[in-house]
Amino acid sequence: MEQRLDYQIQLAPCVVTGEFGKVIVTNLGEVKFELDNGETGAVEVKGQFSEAGLEMMLRALRAAPLPIPPAFEVIPQEVTKNLTYQWEAHYQNGQPLRQFDEAGEHHLGEVDLGKVLEFVVRPRDLASSLPWFKLDRFVGLCRLESSLSSHTWQRLGLPLPEVPFHLQYQRRVTKVLLAGPQVGVVDGYPTHVRHELGWKVDTLHGDETETTFMIGIEDDDGSWQIVKEEPRDSRHFQHKRIEGSVRILELAEVPAG
């Protein structure tokens, strides 16, 4: 079988040193685009590296410190301190438990999710115009436009199982780091936080696999999307059949003409 090479040797400028000469050209991926007239397409992105350029990158890689410098590590305390949203757990009786209150920050481990009737993800600043979100065990996933403009929760029209389920919540923190050409210098994008709220049905109700449904709420602007819906063919994602009956209380005969 013929082996396909994913690189070529050419005469071209090196993307690292800028010098023209013998380089190795490799495919770095594909970028899709859309023109103003609606036309779409894709182009391949290739990198051209000379021997000197590769050696320069190898020296930078070998000299880079491990672990990554502390200034660029994700520090949990810094993440929670800068959160725009917080969680709030509501039980059948008693006051809700909030992530942040006068006593400080509460850990999610203090919450008995099995007994929570409503789990709310809301702005820490009550004067904020950002939307609120909640999972109600009897209603499903809901959204409140903002506490400033409305007090009416709107259903999101998302799946809710008819069998008992486990309430799910987690924060997904992402830090993208960029290594520059200067040895030992690391830069990165701002830390990104997404709150994931949803439910899980285990296999105790006759399913071969667990079913999980989660939405992701962006901490910076309150936008949301479905981030997990597995497995897609689960019976818990099927459209519910609405059943009803008509009861005739009285029949009246209408004269002809």
- Same domain (yes/no): 82, 170: yes
* Separation between Cα atoms, residue 133 and residue 226, nearest integer Å: 13
> What digits encode the pLDDT tens for the residues 134-156?
999 999 999 999 877 778 899 99
| Same-domain check for residues 21 and 140 | no
* Domain match, 39 and 91 both: no
238-250 residue pLDDT tens: 765 444 455 655 6
Percentage, residues of the chain above pLDDT 90: 47
159 and 230 together in one domain: yes
**Same domain as 97, residue 39:** no
In a domain, 243, yes or no: no
Which residue range is the domain that position 25 belongs to?
Answer: 7-63
One domain, residues 219 and 92 = yes
* Residue 68: per-residue pLDDT: 57
Residue 101 lies in a domain: yes
Beta bridge partners of 229: 213
Classify residue 215: in a domain, yes or no.
yes
Q: Is residue 128 part of a domain?
A: yes
Query: Do residues 211 and 119 share a domain?
Result: yes
How far is the C-alpha of 160 from the C-alpha of 237, rounded, in Å?
A: 8
Residue 95 banded pLDDT, cuts 50, 70, 90 = confident
Q: pLDDT, tens digit, for every residue of 25-82? A: 988 877 777 776 667 778 888 889 999 999 998 988 887 766 555 555 667 777 888 8
Shared domain for 124 and 164, answered yes or no, is yes
End-to-end CA distance of the chain: 89
Are 29 and 107 within one domain? no
Q: Indicate whether 79 and 57 sit together in one domain.
A: no
pLDDT digits (tens, 9 = 90+) for 148-184: 777 889 999 999 999 999 999 999 988 776 655 554 4
**Any domain includes 232:** yes
Whether residues 47 and 81 fall in one domain:
no
Same domain, 77 and 204: yes
Q: What is the pLDDT of residue 257?
A: 56
> pLDDT band at 1, cuts 50/70/90?
very low
Total structural domains within the chain: 2
Closest CA to 85 of 191, 199, 221: 221
Q: Is 41 inside any structural domain?
A: yes
CA distance 138 to 44: 50
